[in-house]
Chains A and B, each alone.
Chain A
């Protein structure tokens, strides 16, 4: 029956398609389980006692839900102080990144001047050095500028290192906005800055939201700089707070997992709302749907 040009019968095709679909789902479900199970274990761990947790990592509470794990953290003023510190760092670094990168992108995309490309290339050099690679020199600079134990010591380097990427993304976006619009606004008596504030920025809102979202994640999760800048534990953000908590409670896993859960929940909620913008930001707006 089999000739050189083998044409499978409709039923074989159907079976083959079914098998390939089953294979696809099997792979996806296995990978998703590997991704989710550590997270789920952490959450379940926070709800139980350490004894239960260590006896059976994956299980529902048998001795009642241990709310005490959570309330002891939420009633602790040190926890809320770290929340506030994290908010400072996150909001300040996001605001400065958005302001500075959008103004720079405006000039680099729409105002011609001598030396523009040179400046832009210098800025692009920053893409070669992620923050983690330049950490020691930054630390020395922070000390030289007397910024130890100051929020600026964390915020300013964080902004400086995100400027190249965000400026480049915004510049591409600004360039795509037709110059006719700019000319028309000048005819209507707009100044250059007026055009930027009232026309360009509102039009670029998706790109700006994307950059802001990525910066919120970067600021909220920042750890390495804070570790070097803050000697005063009153200034510590949540990342350092969690490390300290972990050191303090060492083997009391339930309590540590409760702390982790408290941090995971807002992150996941934020993620559900911001996923679209995160994706836009990472892919420069190429991925839709």
Chain B
């Protein structure tokens, strides 16, 4: 067929030459018309800005006028010495760690429950569980601001009813608690996303293989451990990747719930730190150095992960 296809293509090409009336862009015309606008936009807003940030990070720059005050690694030095920045890095890694160890297993468990099988009402459960995904982060943050209200918020009332003698918490004002509270909101908003990915993966898991394991005497946990989860390997690896990158780019929910890193800049994530100390104060050179650190973390992770982990998913 491909030989025939080539023949057909020559015929059409010849025909086009003999009919110049028709509007015809030709191969390169089509390519440039179709690819250039998108690639230009991509270069203009993705590639160029990222490259420029690396340059800005070497200067003291308020965003106005030319770059004159070259400070070499001065911005990076200051970052390294700034306590809130170090804690912001720690917090981002903390959120990442909890996402991988709590949020993903929870999503997996729910996907196994509602992703397949004959459980009655599973479609309704699935719909409910996935709803928060469509809400904006602002709506999410404001709803949870109330849930975490230190006096009569839903969280205090609910725990107070369920656990006798429960003392009301300041969920967002307590240094030791605030990151867990934030993580709770992020889980509420995003576990459905991972659940949907796992459910898609489950469609590819062969029922026969699981059945065969059962016939051979494996119990349900063993089937899960030795058959289902390994077969979901590529999906799991993908969700780990998305979850890590996602943890490092969280901004809106954290910014609103922690009111800009309070108490006393003790609850920043990298992105809220960047916004507060780089953009709001117009120390754009300094902010650029935060951006470069953020890129470097995600780039190293992405490349490393793709090389080492995702590689086998594309191997054959």
Residues of A within 8 A of B (CB): 21, 24, 27-28, 31-32, 34-39, 41-42, 45, 54-55, 57-58, 100-101, 103-104, 106-108, 111, 113, 119, 122-123, 125-126, 128-141, 143, 145, 156-157, 159-161, 163-164, 167, 179-180, 182-183, 186-187, 189, 191-193, 217, 220-221, 223-224, 228, 239, 242-243, 246, 253, 256-257, 260, 263-264, 267-268, 270-272, 275, 278-279, 282-284, 286-288
Contacts and interface: CB of A to CB of B under 8 A. Distances in A.
Interface string B127-156: 111111111111100111111000111100
A107 B110 CA distance: 40
B253 to A, nearest CB: 10
B189 to A, nearest CB: 10
A221 B136 contact: yes
Closest 4 CB pairs of A and B: A132-B249, A137-B49, A221-B136, A283-B200
Contacts of A260: 139, 142-143
A283 B196 contact: yes
Contacts of B145: 246
Contacts of B12: 186-187, 189
Given A28-B114, A139-B279, A287-B203, A242 B138 contact: yes
A92 B2 CA distance: 40
A41 B146 contact: yes
Contact of B142 (A179, A187, A246): A246
Interface stretch (B28-36, B81-89, B94-102, B167-175): B28-36
B188 A191 contact: no
A264 B139 contact: yes
A38 B129 contact: no
Given A135-B275, A163-B38, 17 more contacts: A35-B132, A38-B188, A42-B143, A100-B38, A126-B46, A129-B46, A133-B291, A136-B287, A136-B288, A137-B49, A140-B288, A159-B41, A179-B5, A189-B12, A239-B138, A242-B139, A242-B142
Contacts of A217: 134
A239 to B, nearest CB: 5
With most chain B CB atoms within 10 A of its CB, the pick from A39, A41, A135, A220 is: A135
Contact of B44 (A24, A131, A160): A160
Contacts of B80: none
A38 B143 contact: yes
B146 A253 contact: yes
6 contacts: A35-B129, A41-B154, A122-B39, A164-B42, A191-B24, A286-B204
B31 A111 contact: yes
A161 B44 CA distance: 11
Contacts of B24: 191
A16 B284 CA distance: 63
Nearest to B298: A133
A246 B136 CA distance: 15
B40 to A, nearest CB: 9
Interface in B39-62: 39, 41-42, 44-50, 52-53, 56
B53 A42 contact: no
Contacts of B279: 136, 139, 228
A68 B79 CA distance: 50
Interface of B: 1-2, 4-5, 8-9, 11-12, 15-16, 22-25, 27-28, 30-31, 33-35, 37-39, 41-42, 44-50, 52-53, 56, 63, 109-110, 113-114, 119, 125, 127-139, 142-147, 151-154, 157-158, 188, 193, 196-197, 199-201, 203-204, 245-246, 248-252, 256, 271, 274-275, 278-279, 284, 287-288, 290-291, 294-295, 298-299, 302-303
A156 B41 contact: yes
Contact of B15 (A119, A160, A189): A189
A45 B31 CA distance: 55
A139 B41 CA distance: 15
B134 A278 contact: yes
Nearest to B154: A57
B251 A100 contact: no
A103 to B, nearest CB: 4
A107 B41 contact: no
With most chain B CB atoms within 10 A of its CB, the pick from A36, A55, A128, A143 is: A128
Given A28-B110, A38-B147, A180-B1, A268 B134 contact: yes
Contacts of A220: 136
A265 to B, nearest CB: 11
Nearest to A286: B200
A107 B249 CA distance: 32
Contact of A134 (B5, B50, B303): B50
B188 to A, nearest CB: 7
Nearest to B253: A223
Contact of A39 (B15, B45, B143): B143
Contact of A57 (B114, B119, B157): B157
B200 A264 contact: no
Contacts of B129: 31-32, 35
B30 A107 contact: yes
A183 B5 contact: yes
Nearest to B25: A193
B302 A128 contact: yes
A57 B203 contact: no
Given A35-B131, A101-B38, A137-B291, A160 B45 contact: yes
